[in-house]
Structure 1
Amino acid sequence: MNKSTENTDLLQAQNNILEMIATGQSYRRVLERITFVIEGFVPYSVCSILIYNEKTNQLENAVAPNLDEEYVKAVNGIDIGSNVGSCGTAAFYKRNVIVENIATDPLFRDYRSLPLSYGLKACFSIPVLSSERNVLGTFALYYRESKKPTDYDLQLLLTFSHLAAVAIERKKTEEKLYESERKYRLITENVTDFVGILDSKGAYVYTSPSHEKYLGYSPDELLGTLGYEHMHPEDVTRAWKSFEKLKETNEPQKVSYRFRNRQGKWLYLEGSLSPIFEENGEVGQYLYVSRDISDRKKSEERIYHLAYYDKLTQVPNHWKLVEYFQAILKEQKDQPLAFLYIDVNRFKYVNDTLGRTYGDDLLKLIAIRLSSYFDHVFRISGDEFVIILNNTKANEANHHVQRLLEIFEPPIYLKNHDFHMGLSVGLSMYPEHGETVEELMKNANVALRYSKKSNHSQYQSFTYEMSHEMDRKMELESQLRFALENNDFTLYYQPQLDNETGQIIGSEALLRWKNPVLGHISPADFIPVAEETGLIVPIGNWVLKEACKQQKKWLNDGSLLKSVSVNLSVEQFYQDDLVQVVTEVLKETELDPNNLILEITETVILEKNDVAIRTLEQLRSMGVKIALDDFGTGYSSLNYLKDLPIDILKIDKSFLHDMDSDPKAKEILSMIIALTRKLGLRVLAEGVETEDHFQFLKERQCHEVQGFFFSAPIPSEQFTQLLKVKTV
């Protein structure tokens, strides 16, 4: 299943559940449906939902159709506490709890035998919270292997926990309302109903005492007046049509309307109109019976708000967007619409740096600023919003986007901080770019992704070329996953030479991919896709292992090759267990750490300086050497090199290439080599392509060289033959 189909199925499932809630189906059926949906999207998982009992402070009434009945009975009545399994703990702290291994996790110290006996080895629990952040219950996703949930699993449970909260809150509201109404009826019987008689003109002939008691009007005030005189103006036409139909057909009619009481407050009334037949069969008067349903209306409005408005920012959510779009099409199908898909730049940085509370408060202020200038703002998820512009052409939409970007030029002030929150915007137009919400949002989102990649634009308008490019990337992602599973990648090696002796002393491992469908694919094409999708981490780990195996083989065959260099991406470097991965690879391949060089770029260090330095120090303490790659392409500064735990500086090939046309490039290159040597680091120059390059570097005592002048990257078999020559 591709991502687009999966998103469509997910949206359909959510719509189905909302429909079940809206049509009043039992909350247990709704919750059961939610568990089936989650289990369908997360293979080999089992889902359960526990309901919180306020009286006992326990979790009970489990909804878990695919768990063994005896297990369900056993977990009924779980206490809420700080160390009571994953569910009890999640409810206690009102936060997510991940148990990767039930057999060893202390949260299951007193309970682990139960889940383990049913083959449940890991559990991810999240609290189901009301709009006031009160505990309603818990979600649990069990796995039959020791693991932690993926980001997709997390987002899936968070999405459906909101729907579960709506279903449970509706149930609790209905129970409270039913109990309230039951007690009220026992006390007052039918006294609260408003009973009256109207003549053929709709004037009051009789009103029951309840009118005075609950509406404030005495009989004298109402008799002779027309019923619609006290109705809300918006309800008069509908109510009058029902009355006219009653007189025409003599068939009872249902009515609902707002009625203003003596204090000027509008009450929702619901009831029926019926004819009063005289003995001769004629009808001259009509009976109405109504009751106050204001509390029920408030409850329905609250449920509607929970379902269709974002809990945090209170702006309409995705479901309201769908409803609004469909309503607009009915009213003005031929009018153009603009969809602006908005992403808040640097929001993740604020969230990660200052905490989620800051992030939530910032999102509220962003929503307020958007809503202050635009009428139809919707929060989709996280820091993503959509604005719909009615009756707007493309050129007009461009002006609105410029205005939007200007609105966010001033900083947002929050808790003594000024936050400069720029926006990235993608635009799609109805009907040119789609005729459904899904198409328009998808295409606006595609344009948004392009704007985020652009170095010179915060805004992009959708084109179908973008869509084709995204389709190509999706195909590339699919083929990448297949290649990773089937070991379709290969490594080429480019020799690194000692500049003084000319001997090959090392190699750089470079990833190559020949796809059976797409042919040879350049790393410049597939590496960015791997980075975007997160596949770069497992691919990078594969490269590390294969390169170490090959280096060990060359050493076993008698080669004097000192090292193999492996590039680490930013994502791979910041994986939680990088040091452990490197340690395990070296152990498995039996390669001495001194024979491995890990290459990083300046981007890695600048991303999270303190974390990066600690990781580099750990790797160097093992004996692994660190090379700073592509020096000169980023925020190059010889000053900070003295503080970095590195061994080798790799000068980017651009310096050598510029040297032929720019005399200053020679001076800069000479200075870099000299200063780096004084710092006690080894220097390696990349991109050596001519005899002049080689001689220039040799004269300036650059330690090592690498480039096409000596050899292009070649397969390991050819590299083995090259090693027999020893010098190039």
Structure 2
Amino acid sequence: MCLIKTCLKKYLLEKSGPKNNKKDPDYYLHHDLLTGLPNRTLLMKDLSYCNNVSEKDNWVIIVVDIDHFKLINDSMGQDFADELLKIVADRLNRVFGAGNAYRMDGDEFAVIYNHNSSKALSDSLKPIFEQLKKPYEIRRTKMHINLSMGIALCKDGKRTPEEYLNCAGIALREVKNRGRNNYLIYKGHMSDLVKERMLIEGLLYKALENREFEVYYQPQMIVDSGEILGFEALIRWNSPELGFVQPNRFIKIAEENHLIIPIGEWVLKSACSFIKKLHQNGYDKLNISVNVSIVQLMDDGFENSVLKILEETGLNPERLQLEITETVLVESYEYIKEKLVRLKKSGIRIAMDDFGKGYSSLGVLSQLPIHTLKIDKIFMESFLQDAPKRLITDLVIQIGNKMGLDVLAEGVETQEQFEYLKKYNNIKAQGYYFSKPVPMESAEEMVRKLPTPPCNWKFSYNMP
């Protein structure tokens, strides 16, 4: 299916004619040797042609990126990753038509697409995107590979080819910022978002060097007794230039440039030191939970870093819990499972965070080396008035109990939610009903005022 109009069809036929073959030395200047696709040099030439002769046509430039490609390359090897690139290139050629797809660099591709349908562009792209997401067969194994796409409309002819390509790249970055595995059409405000991201990225380096970060602590409670079981460590950033910066504004940026590795290491050491200090003051049954990102988990030095921090702080590994989101655990488990199993054997606990927000099956859940299920706060929101949410919450607690897992409800904010959860003996919870995240000094004061458990982390659930 060729999607390019007559004027470009003729041009592409000429481009792929007798002179454009592997015997022609120029071929290697304009084509990617691995996939055989035209390269960025030829892309810019073709975009210039579209811009000059087709001002009224609905030209679109699409930038396509394989989600988590580095993770695939690092875990499966370069040969496997190269096979994947060739298969994706072939799929792009089949979906968009031969001659319309290009390989720019690494796992990034581009497509020149002519939107000549009466449908809205977003609607036209939906079935195309679904075709690209179908399983890929590699070495006789079918794999689900997620893609992200950024799209820029080129019909006005007011920008240069490089500017159009940059707009598509900006849209792609916004897709990644929103969670990947989707596509977005460039809008003007996205450029402002990119400028903000560049500003934050630059300031993050300074923030780490100048110790502008602080760890706050939110208590995790035993519902029926009101005892503090432990704390979750949460990073906060008070920037001299930007003021208080919400974590959702800088965490993803830190992940993309891998600053999350030194930042995460600092958070972990601070949290372990904090809870060890409480142990030394007589509160030796308290536990600490620390969030871990996929970038940290994929880092070769992560495991040794965790164990070294435990050794330096003197914290019992059984008092540390690493929280990993459901999506990361399920999507990336094949790449991180050995590391998680070793951490578990060392005594460290693993929690599945945001459970219910993703798509875990019970079969997958039973295979994961986890100790704790944290019910996502979306189920706490209005669940007393929402029968399906209430049913799911009840089922998750029962499933966790049957599987021998600890269960914690996140986002508990009202007396009614608290009272409902009390029917499950010793269930854990956290949320603003108990306390918002607080600085270290306030957390220490909280421990002195409230009872702490005379027992270990594990509790039994008596179902009503």
Pick the TM interval, shorter chain: 0.7 to 0.9
Q: Secondary structure at the match of 2:451?
A: coil
Q: 2:264: which partner in 1? A: 540
What letter matches 2:210 in structure 1? Answer: N
Q: 2:458: which partner in 1? A: none
Compared with structure 1, are the counterparts of its residues 544 and 440 closer, same or farther at alpha carbon in structure 2 (3 Å cutoff)?
Answer: same
Unaligned 5+ runs, structure 2:
1-18, 453-464
Percentage of pairs with the same residue: 34
Q: 1:571: which partner in 2? A: 295
Displacement, 1:325?
Answer: 4.6
Residue of 4, 25, 32 corresponding to 1:310 = 32
Q: 1:95: which partner in 2? A: none
**1:15-414 alignment runs, 5 A limit:** 302-326=24-48, 332=53, 338-343=59-64, 348=69, 352=76, 355-356=80-81, 358-359=83-84, 361-363=86-88, 365-366=90-91, 368-369=93-94, 373=97, 377-388=101-112, 398=121
Q: 1:469: which partner in 2? A: 193
Q: 2:239: which partner in 1? A: 515
What letter matches 1:307 in structure 2? Answer: L
Q: 1:530: which partner in 2? A: 254
Compared with structure 1, are the counterparts of its residues 674 and 388 closer, same or farther at alpha carbon in structure 2 (3 Å cutoff)?
Answer: closer
Compared with structure 1, are the counterparts of its residues 395 and 459 closer, same or farther at alpha carbon in structure 2 (3 Å cutoff)?
Answer: farther
Displacement, 1:339?
Answer: 4.1
Displacement, 1:580?
Answer: 0.7
Q: 1:582 and 2:300 equivalent? A: no
Compared with structure 1, are the counterparts of its residues 412 and 552 closer, same or farther at alpha carbon in structure 2 (3 Å cutoff)?
Answer: closer
Is the contact made by 2:351 and 2:372 (CA closer than 8 Å) also made in structure 1? Answer: yes
Q: 1:485: which partner in 2? A: 209
Is the contact made by 2:133 and 2:147 (CA closer than 8 Å) also made in structure 1? Answer: no
Is the contact made by 1:629 and 1:652 (CA closer than 8 Å) also made in structure 2? Answer: yes
Q: 1:223: which partner in 2? A: none
Displacement, 1:543?
Answer: 0.9
Q: 2:368: which partner in 1? A: 644
Which protein has the larger Cα radius of gyration, Structure 1 or Structure 2?
1
Q: Secondary structure at the match of 2:283?
A: coil
Compared with structure 1, are the counterparts of its residues 327 and 485 closer, same or farther at alpha carbon in structure 2 (3 Å cutoff)?
Answer: same
Compared with structure 1, are the counterparts of its residues 303 and 397 closer, same or farther at alpha carbon in structure 2 (3 Å cutoff)?
Answer: farther
Compared with structure 1, are the counterparts of its residues 702 and 641 closer, same or farther at alpha carbon in structure 2 (3 Å cutoff)?
Answer: farther
- For 1:319-378, what per-residue CA distance to the aligned partner results, in whole angstroms no more than 9, with x for missing partners? 23334455666x64966673412316569498748814533542553465368x365543
Is the contact made by 1:601 and 1:630 (CA closer than 8 Å) also made in structure 2? Answer: yes
Q: 2:15: which partner in 1? A: none
Q: Secondary structure at the match of 1:594?
A: helix
Q: Secondary structure at the match of 1:633?
A: coil
Is the contact made by 1:339 and 1:441 (CA closer than 8 Å) also made in structure 2? Answer: no
Displacement, 1:598?
Answer: 1.5
What letter matches 2:28 in structure 1? Answer: L
Is the contact made by 2:352 and 2:372 (CA closer than 8 Å) also made in structure 1? Answer: yes
Q: Secondary structure at the match of 2:26?
A: helix
Displacement, 1:569?
Answer: 1.7
- For 1:111-135, what per-residue CA distance to the aligned partner results, in whole angstroms no more than 9, with x for missing partners? xxxxxxxxxxxxxxxxxxxxxxxxx
Distance 1:328 1:676 in 2: 58
Q: 1:609 and 2:333 equivalent? A: yes
Q: 1:626 and 2:347 equivalent? A: no
Displacement, 1:613?
Answer: 3.8
Displacement, 1:546?
Answer: 0.9
Q: 1:725: which partner in 2? A: 449
What letter matches 1:558 in structure 2? Answer: G
Out of 669-678 and 478-487, give the one that drifted further: 669-678
Is the contact made by 2:93 and 2:100 (CA closer than 8 Å) also made in structure 1? Answer: no
Is the contact made by 1:363 and 1:383 (CA closer than 8 Å) also made in structure 2? Answer: no
Is the contact made by 2:384 and 2:417 (CA closer than 8 Å) also made in structure 1? Answer: no
Compared with structure 1, are the counterparts of its residues 553 and 607 closer, same or farther at alpha carbon in structure 2 (3 Å cutoff)?
Answer: same
Residue of 388, 400, 403 corresponding to 1:679 = 403
Is the contact made by 2:50 and 2:59 (CA closer than 8 Å) also made in structure 1? Answer: no
Distance 2:411 2:224 in 1: 18
Q: Secondary structure at the match of 1:564?
A: strand
Displacement, 1:430?
Answer: 4.2
Q: Secondary structure at the match of 1:689?
A: coil
Out of 701-710 and 436-445, give the one that drifted further: 701-710
Q: TM-score scaled by structure 1? A: 0.51
Distance 2:293 2:226 in 1: 30
Q: Secondary structure at the match of 2:308?
A: helix
What letter matches 2:32 in structure 1? Answer: D
Is the contact made by 1:426 and 1:445 (CA closer than 8 Å) also made in structure 2? Answer: yes
Compared with structure 1, are the counterparts of its residues 495 and 313 closer, same or farther at alpha carbon in structure 2 (3 Å cutoff)?
Answer: closer
Distance 2:25 2:120 in 1: 34
Q: Secondary structure at the match of 1:591?
A: coil
Compared with structure 1, are the counterparts of its residues 336 and 565 closer, same or farther at alpha carbon in structure 2 (3 Å cutoff)?
Answer: same
Residue of 683, 702, 705 corresponding to 2:426 = 702
Displacement, 1:313?
Answer: 3.8
Is the contact made by 1:426 and 1:461 (CA closer than 8 Å) also made in structure 2? Answer: yes
Displacement, 1:638?
Answer: 5.2
Q: 1:109: which partner in 2? A: none
Q: 1:690: which partner in 2? A: 414
Q: 1:562: which partner in 2? A: 286
Distance 2:375 2:127 in 1: 44
Is the contact made by 1:489 and 1:512 (CA closer than 8 Å) also made in structure 2? Answer: yes
Distance 1:708 1:571 in 2: 29
Distance 1:350 1:572 in 2: 15
Distance 1:500 1:545 in 2: 31
- For 1:415-448, what per-residue CA distance to the aligned partner results, in whole angstroms no more than 9, with x for missing partners? 7677888865433344747532321111122223
Q: 1:658: which partner in 2? A: 382
Unaligned 5+ runs, structure 1:
1-296
Distance 2:362 2:448 in 1: 38
Q: 2:276: which partner in 1? A: 552
Compared with structure 1, are the counterparts of its residues 367 and 521 closer, same or farther at alpha carbon in structure 2 (3 Å cutoff)?
Answer: closer
- For 1:186-243, what per-residue CA distance to the aligned partner results, in whole angstroms no more than 9, with x for missing partners? xxxxxxxxxxxxxxxxxxxxxxxxxxxxxxxxxxxxxxxxxxxxxxxxxxxxxxxxxx
CA-atom RMSD in angstroms: 4.0
Is the contact made by 1:318 and 1:379 (CA closer than 8 Å) also made in structure 2? Answer: yes
Distance 2:59 2:438 in 1: 52
Displacement, 1:314?
Answer: 3.7
Distance 2:346 2:420 in 1: 35
Q: 1:249: which partner in 2? A: none
Compared with structure 1, are the counterparts of its residues 615 and 338 closer, same or farther at alpha carbon in structure 2 (3 Å cutoff)?
Answer: same
